[in-house]
Amino acid sequence: MTRAPQFKRTLLANAILLLVAGPGLAQTQAAADEQLAKEQQVVVLGSRTVAKTALDTSAPVGLISLKDMQTAGPLELGKLLQTLDPSFNFSSTFVSDGTDSIRPATLRSLGPDQVLVLINGKRRHQQALVNVQQTVGRGSAGTDINAIPLAAIQRIEVLRDGAAAQYGSDAIAGVINIVLKSQVSETSLSGTYGTTSEGDGDLYSASANTGFALGQDGGFLNLTAEARKRGETNRAGPDSLRANPPRVTQHLGDSDTRDTYFWWNGAIPIDKSSEFYAFGGLSKRKSDSFGFFRSAGDDRTVSAVYPNGFLPAIHTDIKDASFAFGYRRDLANDWKADISINHGASELAFHESDSLNTSYWYEPKPGGGIYADSPRQADTGTLKFDQTTINADIKGPVKFGDSSVFIATGFEYRRDNYQIVAGDPVSYQYGRTNNPAIAITTPSGATAAAGIQGFPGYTPATAVDSGRHNIALFLDAEHKPVDNLTLAGAVRYEKYSDFGSTVTGKLSARYDPTKTVGFRGSVSTGFRAPSVQQEFYSSVSTNLNNGVLTETLTARQGSAVTQAFGIAPLKEETSTSGSVGMVLRPAKNMSLTVDAYQIKIKDRIVFSSEIAPEAGGGPITNILRPLGVGQAQFFTNAVDTRTRGLDIVAEHTTKFDASSLVLSGQLGFNKTEVTKRHSTSTVLTGEQLFDQAQVTLIERGQPRKHHVVAADYTAGAWNINTRANYYGEVQAQSFSPLHTWDAKWLVDASVRYGFTKRTFLSVGVNNVFDTLPSEWTNGGDFPKLGFTRCWETCPIGVNGRSMYVRVDTAF
């Protein structure tokens, strides 16, 4: 069987040209041309035909190579992608429950669940966590991108184009394909130590990758192990509202994490034309974050236990597993077949400590007095998601006279399942009997709060174990009527067991009038099925509402609350996308691409605003009170959006006698607007379902401008890399009047020295100038609580400068 080519060093080419070459460089042109010819930027994403260079595709594809990953500072895949590709955002969140541990990853400023992630070209499962706090990606369950270790990755391809007709649901913003290592010739080891300029957030990381040949005909097994420990950081200011004298009470920054990974990739030939292949991985990550501080005078605090107040600690245990197995065969006349089974599972377990259930403490004893006791910790529930995908594909050329049309067709079956496991009784109960009719009051006479403080547990009423399945058929065709023109089309049919069927299509073209100029464009329709997480997620927290114990319910579709409001069951999002671009190659060492795009999404699934009773009564009150619900929120197809953007990508390489300089740049512009808010309810308007604060989160929660410029200089054993990221301004208004956090430049730099061809020492500084988000000047009481800088929409985080030293060796 023909093996895939070895993919050599490439640099991400994603921005505008920053160098005008002088005449003195002409003498190095021939050497540069020869070098670049050997370093073809080969990708397989975006087309099912033979691999192309990144500059020859019909849609923009960004390529991140092994060297790019080695010279960048971040060790987490999410942060690394944000640093290297301006279309990717990885917001830094804190005090957001599970989202502190699994941060939202987005493409082109759309939602985390509107980008499809592939591993070796196969669909990656999504995360169990639903983002329900006021963060980027609110109401979504995307892909846990940090469950994939960097040490296992050979390269990353980023298709910035709508591709649902090619790859299925979720590929509205684009597709990220992560290609695993397959080398068998060496064992590589890496170790990193890092810290911040504040002396916290210490980072320890170690990884090992090795490969073995299987048989004599190109079989291999590649194994990766990685472990990482990151200490917590805290940038909270003094709390002058809840502490006297003022002191730091909150924890605002990165959580303490411990991560371990084991991944594999392999293939074994059966004969000269076929092979079995398998890949997958296990990851386990533990994270410690925190909720809101409860002050000494708060009725949720028991002074006998916490005389100075307390900060509840939220611990998450995240497990992720995946395994893919398949069979590939070369058929007659250059046709190929591929059959595979791919299973993945995500699990997130919550545990609360340094807390208590005040209703347990103050619950009256049958014989008089109160119990005066409560557990200080509890398991608060577990979220589980698993997915099984079966694919059968066939592709090859169909000849028509002297020309041919490349055809790819196939079948897919997918099964998704979602489960919520209830927490310990103390985590959600109102007293030991969980009877709201029993009056439990604090010493001040207020009603005691139910459940453990911080993250109340999932209840038996919200527990669920349910799923759905779907089938898909697709057909792709690509044809070159003449040598310099490529035409392609795709159509896909999908049928779901829970909401019906959909058909999507795509047309694309590439025209190269000369060897130095190319034009490309595409139009497509797309869709995203509601995830099972959005269909089945539900939670209940018991809070005080004007002194009355009431429930805040996240209601799943089909519940009594959603039916009473007339909220229709979830249906698919639909999209129409278009892009047009130009590729310029004025010289073999120089390239420039410009691509403009538009994405319209109809019936986008969102997490509603909190629906609370009217102050003086009304239709909302009349629905909620009989159901015993204080306020409610739910998932609904409530908005239409439009995203327009422009990507400018460029690279220039100069080869000197004993050194080389690569200058690359990336300009990313985009603007998302909510064009319509609508409601199926006769009680709630679209504006009530999705208020202005949520509109701002979608429109301005992510930077509208993200640029990356970089210089990479290699001379002998030395490599120097400098990269600057520009993050445009972001806004939020959920917890304060509308506030703008200013645009910022972040500069990273690293120096790498090779003692031998296989042993390297790297020293780097991320955020060289210690740039921080602008201060939160109009945050109301929040700055007084210690929230001095951004919170909900932080693209750059609050840690400031960090430094690291890394050793890499291979043998």
In tens, the pLDDT along 124-157 reads 999 999 999 889 999 999 999 999 999 999 999 9
Residue 189: per-residue pLDDT: 97
Residue 125: per-residue pLDDT: 97
Residue 50: per-residue pLDDT: 67
Kindly report the number of other CB atoms within 10 A of residue 353's CB atom. Answer: 15
Single out the residue of 182, 177, 175 nearest to residue 154, CA to CA: 182
Pairing of strands 403-422, 464-482: antiparallel
Q: Which pair of tokens denotes residue 351?
A: 């545990």
pLDDT, greater one: 277 or 45: 277
DSSP SS3 for 333: helix
Q: How far apart are the first and last CA of the chain?
A: 29
Asked whether residue 467 carries a pLDDT value surpassing 90, the answer given is yes
Alpha helices in 625-716 (DSSP H): 686-689, 692-700
Residue 214: per-residue pLDDT: 92
Pairing of strands 485-496, 500-511: antiparallel
| 8 Å CB contact between 635 and 628 | no
Residue 28: per-residue pLDDT: 36
Residue 277: per-residue pLDDT: 98
Asked whether residue 38 carries a pLDDT value surpassing 90, the answer given is no
Single out the residue of 789, 702, 693 nearest to residue 736, CA to CA: 693
| 8 Å CB contact between 114 and 133 | no
Residue 781: per-residue pLDDT: 84
DSSP symbols for 493-507: EEEETTTEEEEEEEE
d(CA 142, CA 304): 43
Residue type, 180: L
Average pLDDT over residues 183-204: 95
| 8 Å CB contact between 67 and 508 | no
Kindly report the number of other CB atoms within 10 A of residue 369's CB atom. Answer: 8
Residue 751: per-residue pLDDT: 97
Q: Which pair of tokens denotes residue 393?
A: 């594909």
For the segment 417-454, what is each residue's pLDDT rounded down to a tens digit?
999 999 999 999 999 999 888 899 999 999 898 999 98
| 8 Å CB contact between 160 and 114 | no
Asked whether residue 494 carries a pLDDT value surpassing 60, the answer given is yes
Asked whether residue 32 carries a pLDDT value surpassing 80, the answer given is no
The model's confidence at residue 15, banded by pLDDT at 50, 70 and 90, is: very low
Asked whether residue 39 carries a pLDDT value surpassing 50, the answer given is no
For the segment 150-160, what is each residue's pLDDT rounded down to a tens digit?
999 999 999 99
Asked whether residue 627 carries a pLDDT value surpassing 90, the answer given is no
| 8 Å CB contact between 468 and 499 | no
Asked whether residue 471 carries a pLDDT value surpassing 90, the answer given is yes
Single out the residue of 369, 374, 320 nearest to residue 352, CA to CA: 374
363 — phi, psi (to 5°)?
Answer: -65, 130
Tokens 């005080």 map to which residue?
544
The lowest-confidence range among 268-277, 733-742, 802-811 is 733-742
Average pLDDT over residues 226-231: 97
d(CA 361, CA 371): 6
Residue 550: per-residue pLDDT: 52
Residue 625: per-residue pLDDT: 85
Strands (E), 38-108: 42-43, 52-53, 61-64, 88-90, 105-107
471-503: string of b/e by CB count within 10 Å (b at 16+)? ebebebbbbbeeeeebbbbbbbebebebbeebe
Average pLDDT over residues 172-193: 95
Residue 5: per-residue pLDDT: 36
Q: Which residues contact 560 (CB under 8 A, 6 or more apart)?
A: 627
Tokens 């030991």 map to which residue?
432
Average pLDDT over residues 310-333: 96
Which stretch of DSSP H or E encloses residue 148? none
The model's confidence at residue 302, banded by pLDDT at 50, 70 and 90, is: very high
The lowest-confidence range among 152-166, 245-259, 598-612, 778-792 is 778-792
d(CA 259, CA 145): 13
Kindly report the number of other CB atoms within 10 A of residue 325's CB atom. Answer: 14
Residue 272 CA to its chain's centroid (Å): 40
Average pLDDT over residues 622-631: 85
Q: What is the pTM of this model?
A: 0.92
Q: Which residues contact 177 (CB under 8 A, 6 or more apart)?
A: 44, 45, 117, 118, 119, 120, 121, 156, 157, 158, 159
Residue 362: per-residue pLDDT: 96
d(CA 764, CA 711): 14
What is the chain's mean pLDDT, rounded? 90
| 8 Å CB contact between 469 and 416 | yes
Residue 6: per-residue pLDDT: 33
Cis peptide before 149 (omega within 30 of 0): no
Evaluate the CA torsion angle 181, 183, 189, 192 in order and state its sign: negative
